[in-house]
Amino acid sequence: MTIKQDSVVTIHYTLKDDSGEIIDESAPDHPLTYLHGRGNLIPGLERELQGKQAGDKLNVAIAPADGYGDYDDALVQRIPRRALKGVSSVKPGMQLRTQTEHGPRTVVVTRVTGDIVTVDGNHPLAGKKLNFEVEIAGVRDATAEELQHGHVHGPGGHHH
Ligand code: ZN
């Protein structure tokens, strides 16, 4: 069975940056299971997996535009500390939910200087080329309920 729109796909994967450092990987006994073609994976990886089958191994390099997007300087904002009501100690590395003109977004505090807090709303992997090693462990058809929900049920999937 080959991977097509609405296949349920199970993969083992390792994601490395350009220096070869591992950014993310699936645990050996806990592969990732997802519903194909519904935007559950980044677009570049879904495109590479399309038409492949169980047992196939892939090495793919995905450009930022097909991954988590290009780095956007406009998402870096400097805000007064007093705007962060209810946050007691603001430190670099801290994640915050903020309201932006594009709706609520998770931002990371990158700098605190006096009363000014610099936050970055880019995805941590924005602007990065993504090097995936993927092994396809399984492919099956989705159930009617999975198609209705837009995600996978059972091992490796969501539970309701
Ligand atoms: Zn569900």
Residue 47 resides in a domain: yes
- The domain that contains 77 carries what CATH number? 2.40.10.330
| 160 pLDDT more than 60 | no
Containing domain of residue 22, as a range?
7-68+126-149
Among 104, 12, 89, which Cα is nearest to 49's? Answer: 12
Region 42-65: mean pLDDT is 97
Question: Which pLDDT tens digit goes with each residue over 63-106?
Answer: 999 999 999 999 999 999 988 877 778 999 999 887 777 778 88
CA of 153 to the centre of ligand 1 (A): 6
Q: What is the pLDDT of residue 11?
A: 97
104 and 57 co-located in one domain: no
Please answer whether residues 110 and 119 qualify as being in contact, where contact means their C-beta atoms are separated by less than 8 angstroms: yes
Residue 159 resides in a domain: no
CA of 97 to the centre of ligand 1 (A): 26
* This prediction's pTM: 0.78
Q: What is the pLDDT of residue 86?
A: 78
Residue 141 resides in a domain: yes
31 and 13 co-located in one domain: yes
- Residue 48 falls in which region: left (phi positive, over 0), alpha (psi -120 to 50) or beta: alpha
CA of 122 to the centre of ligand 1 (A): 29
Residue 86 CA: distances (Å) to CA of 16, 65, 66, 89, 132: 37, 36, 37, 9, 40
Residue 134 resides in a domain: yes
Residue 57 resides in a domain: yes
Q: What is the pLDDT of residue 53?
A: 97
63 and 130 co-located in one domain: yes
CA of 37 to the centre of ligand 1 (A): 16
CA of 33 to the centre of ligand 1 (A): 13
Mean pLDDT, the chain, integer: 91
Q: Which residue has the tokens 């915050």?
A: 96
CA of 68 to the centre of ligand 1 (A): 25
* Residue 56 phi, psi dihedral angles, 5° rounding: -70, 145
Strand partners, 36: none
Show the beta-strand stretches assigned E in 94-145. 95-100, 103-113, 116-120, 130-141
Q: How confident is the model at residue 5 (pLDDT cuts 50, 70, 90)?
A: very high
CA 6 from centre of chain: 19
Among 25, 27, 9, 7, which Cα is nearest to 17's? Answer: 25
132 and 109 co-located in one domain: no
